[in-house]
Every structure is written in C-alpha cells, then in structure tokens.
C-alpha cells in the first residue's frame, strides 16, 4: 500500500466536527478535549513505558497508538482525534534544543537571551519537510489506523506563544525575558514572529498533505499580552496564518476546505477581532460566559469550549449541571458549536469522570 497516496485514506464515517466548524447544522454538538491523549490515561503510561516524550512523538507507531487511545476508550463519544505531538516542535525545527523533563515540563538548554542568540535562530534555514518529516509520517500512519472513525486534527503553536518558550524556556510567572524582548527590541521580535509564522504556515499545510483533516493554532500565552500588545505581537501573525494557509494548500493540490481553529487563552478582550480573523472556529477558555461570547460572535464563526477543566473534579451532579449550562449557553449545540474544555486535561483526572462528562454532552446535545 502506498502510505502517502491521499486517495487511499479510509472513508470518513463521522464528519460532525468538520460540518460544525464550517457552520453547517449538526444533529448534536461534536465533542473532543484538548490534551485528550496523555498522562491521565493509564494506557498512555503503559505504552510510553518511561520513554522520552519527544521520542514517543517521533515514533509513528507509538504516537499513532497514543493518539487513538482516547478514541478507543471513549468509543462513540469523541468526534475527533488530535495527533500526539507538541507545539514545541517548531522551535526544534528552528534549530533549538528542547527537552521534556519528567514531571517538570519543557526545558531549553540554550535560550534566546542575546542578539547573537536571536540572529542565530533568524539565520537558521528550516526545511520543514525534512526537519519535521517524522510528524508527517505519524499523521499519515494515524489517519490510516483511525480507519475513518473520526477526523484527525493537526496543530501548531501560535507565534507569540512560541516566542515565549524560546526566550523564557517554559511557562513563567513574570514573563520577564519575553516582555524585555518585546519592549527593548520589538523589531527583532517581529523578525522572529515572522520566521515562526512562515514555518507554521508550511508545517500546517504539510500536516494536511500528510492526512490532517482540521487544524488548530494554540496561542496559549495570548492572555499574557494586553489588548495593545496583542494587536501588535500576536494578532497580525495569527491572521497571516489563516490568510496564507488556503493559498499554500491550493499550491499543494488540496482543493477541499480545511477547517481552522484559533485558541488564544486568556485574550478575552480580543474575541471580536478573533471572530474576524479568517478562522472557522474560535476556541474559548472558561473566562467567557457562553451567552456573552455568542452575542459578541453574532454568527460569524463556530465557537468551541469552554468548560473549566476543574469541573471534572466535581460530583456527577455538578458535571451534569455545568454541561447543561454550557450547551444551552452556546445555543443548544445544533449549529456553530463544538464541545471542549477551556484548556487541557490535567494528569490527575479520573478517566471515568471524563467519560461521564462526554456522555452528558451527548445527552444534553441530542435534546430536540
């Protein structure tokens, strides 16, 4: 079998999320959860078996198995799979070393701290197809293994969020280095953001060629910028991605419309602008009351979200109530809505509680 012949991909049996993202009516809202694969699942630890995180991402057999685990466990309850990888693979493709420390998170042995460091990254020539070939292989293998049960989502990090990781090394309380870069050397920051954006466009497009059926951009540190800086350092690049991607896909021979989602965590002030940024869907964190977000959106895009993941620690009664409020708040879920959390799962969550959450979403979302 020719693995990369796109005409040989299994036929899709559940296109609920694609239809919802494109604004078409659906029988019930499609469901998926950010970080639905990973540490809260015992089967993840079993397969990972102490291996290095990036090693598991780069092994197509392991990455595809981990991607499919939640789809298998929550059979019929999840309407999408998201490829098991990380947003930090773009900094890696820009020549930076990134390690994942067990129980600690990402670690960059060398950060962008001086102009020389910055110039080194800016001068680095990235051949996306070559540097990230393993990511494309993992997507192709996963698409075949999924057998058309649900669409496969690809993703990348937002340019500002990746700048944060490349200057800070990880999440931070003060964002001292990232903020120093923005305010001391904005021109160099714009050059870096542009470079990341160029790689992101090509990376997303090639994920589609490899088999991704929908895409999401994670601007996880969006909320660290105020509205003014968001307009200068995040939004223009987020917009560039949505504007350039369809052209690049066309050049690569992809004719169908690939739904694109933006998740900018914490940037509540930017919702109106994000609804006009060329994305099909905008993913919301739990800072939004669904009813208010629906009003601001005024039918422009599909909204995704936005349960506080912390609700999963609650009783069944609390989970049911919150699901009901969320889905009715988003208008009942038959149009322009995708169920998700407002951020990812936590490693401590009980998989049975997540199952109950998904069942409740199906129950409430299927009401006439």
Q: Which stretch binds ligand CP3 (CB under 6 A): 35-43, 121-129, 182-190, 267-275?
A: 35-43
267 binds ligand CP3 (CB under 6 A): no
Q: Which stretch binds ligand CP3 (CB under 6 A): 1-9, 33-41, 204-212, 313-321?
A: 33-41
34 binds ligand CP3 (CB under 6 A): yes
Among 18, 37, 94, 282, binds ligand CP3 (CB under 6 A): 37
Which CB sits closer to ligand CP3, 331 or 344? 344
Tokens of 187: 């021109």
339: phi then psi, degrees, rounded to nearest 5: -70, 135
Hunting for tokens 């309850």 — which residue is that? 77
Residues 108-137 that bind ligand CP3 (CB under 6 A): none
Phi-psi region of 308 (alpha: psi -120 to 50; beta: other; left: phi over 0): beta
Q: What is the DSSP letter of 303?
A: E
CB of 48 to ligand CP3, least distance (A): 6
201 binds ligand CP3 (CB under 6 A): no
CB of 212 to ligand CP3, least distance (A): 12
CB of 216 to ligand CP3, least distance (A): 8
Q: Give every strand in the sheet of 214-219, ordered side by side.
A: 81-82, 152-157, 214-219, 260-264, 281-283, 302-307, 337-341
336 binds ligand CP3 (CB under 6 A): no
- Within a 10 A sphere around the Cβ of 350, how many other Cβ atoms? 11
Tokens of 330: 């988003």
CB of 205 to ligand CP3, least distance (A): 18
Q: Does residue 306 have a cis bond before it (omega within 30 degrees)?
A: yes
- Within a 10 A sphere around the Cβ of 325, how many other Cβ atoms? 15
203 binds ligand CP3 (CB under 6 A): no
Hunting for tokens 């959450």 — which residue is that? 357
Q: Which stretch binds ligand CP3 (CB under 6 A): 36-44, 175-183, 248-256, 317-325?
A: 36-44
CB of 309 to ligand CP3, least distance (A): 10
Q: Say how far apart CA 110 and CA 95 lie, in whole Å.
A: 10
207 binds ligand CP3 (CB under 6 A): no
Tokens of 325: 């409020």
Exposure of 12 in the CB half-sphere (CA atoms within 13 A): 19
Among 87, 164, 258, 326, binds ligand CP3 (CB under 6 A): 87
Residues 150-179 that bind ligand CP3 (CB under 6 A): 155, 171
220 binds ligand CP3 (CB under 6 A): yes
Q: What is the DSSP string of 21-80?
A: HTT---SS--B--TT-SSTT-HHHHHHHTT--HHHHHH-HHHHHHHHHHHHHHTTTT---
Among 86, 168, 202, 360, binds ligand CP3 (CB under 6 A): 86
Phi-psi region of 332 (alpha: psi -120 to 50; beta: other; left: phi over 0): left
234 binds ligand CP3 (CB under 6 A): no
Q: Which stretch binds ligand CP3 (CB under 6 A): 37-45, 187-195, 309-317, 358-366?
A: 37-45
Among 6, 35, 120, 144, binds ligand CP3 (CB under 6 A): 35
Q: Say how far apart CA 317 and CA 167 lie, in whole Å.
A: 44
- Within a 10 A sphere around the Cβ of 5, how many other Cβ atoms? 9
**3-state secondary structure (DSSP) of residue 146:** helix
- Structural contact between residues 161 and 222, judged by C-beta atoms closer than 8 angstroms: yes
CB of 247 to ligand CP3, least distance (A): 25
182 binds ligand CP3 (CB under 6 A): no
Q: Between the CA atoms of 327, 286, 33 and 51, what dihedral angle is there, to the nearest 10 degrees? A: -170
Which CB sits closer to ligand CP3, 56 or 277? 56
218 binds ligand CP3 (CB under 6 A): yes
Q: Which stretch binds ligand CP3 (CB under 6 A): 86-94, 128-136, 137-145, 314-322?
A: 86-94
CB of 29 to ligand CP3, least distance (A): 19
Contacts with ligand CP3 by CB under 6 A lie at 34-39, 53, 82, 84-88, 100, 105-106, 155, 171, 218, 220, 344
């Amino acid at each position: 079998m020719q693995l990369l012949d796109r005409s040989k991909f299994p036929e899709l049996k559940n296109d609920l999320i694609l239809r919802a993202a494109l604004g078409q009516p659906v029988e019930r809202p499609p469901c998926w959860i950010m970080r639905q694969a990973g540490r809260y699942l015992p089967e993840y630890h079993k397969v990972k078996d102490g291996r290095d995180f990036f090693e598991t991402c780069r092994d197509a057999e392991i990455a595809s198995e981990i991607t499919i685990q939640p789809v298998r466990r929550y059979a019929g309850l999840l309407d999408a799979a998201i490829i098991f990888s990380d947003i930090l693979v773009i900094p890696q493709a820009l020549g930076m070393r990134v390690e994942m420390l067990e129980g600690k998170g990402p670690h960059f042995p060398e950060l962008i701290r001086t102009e020389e460091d910055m110039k080194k990254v800016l001068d680095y020539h990235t051949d996306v197809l070559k540097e990230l070939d393993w990511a494309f292989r993992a997507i192709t293998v996963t698409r075949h293994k999924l057998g058309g049960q649900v669409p496969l989502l690809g993703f990348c990090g937002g340019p500002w969020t990746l700048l944060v990781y490349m200057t800070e090394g990880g999440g931070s309380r003060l964002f001292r280095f990232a903020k120093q870069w923005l305010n001391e050397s904005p021109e160099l920051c714009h050059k870096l953001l542009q470079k990341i954006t160029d790689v992101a466009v090509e990376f997303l497009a090639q994920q589609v060629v490899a088999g991704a059926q929908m895409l999401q951009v994670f601007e996880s540190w969006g909320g660290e910028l105020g509205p003014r800086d968001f307009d200068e350092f995040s939004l223009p690049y987020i917009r560039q991605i949505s504007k350039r991607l369809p052209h690049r896909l066309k050049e690569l021979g992809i004719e169908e419309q690939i739904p694109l989602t933006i998740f900018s965590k914490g940037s509540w002030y930017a919702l109106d602008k994000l609804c006009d940024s060329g994305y099909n869907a905008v993913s919301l964190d739990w800072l939004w009351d669904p009813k208010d977000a629906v009003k601001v959106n005024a039918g422009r895009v599909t909204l995704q979200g936005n349960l506080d993941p912390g609700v999963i620690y609650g009783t069944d009664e609390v989970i049911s109530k919150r699901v009901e409020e969320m889905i009715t708040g988003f208008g009942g879920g038959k149009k322009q809505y995708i169920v998700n959390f407002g951020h990812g799962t936590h490693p401590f969550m009980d998989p049975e509680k997540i199952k109950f959450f998904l069942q409740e979403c199906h129950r409430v979302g299927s009401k006439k």
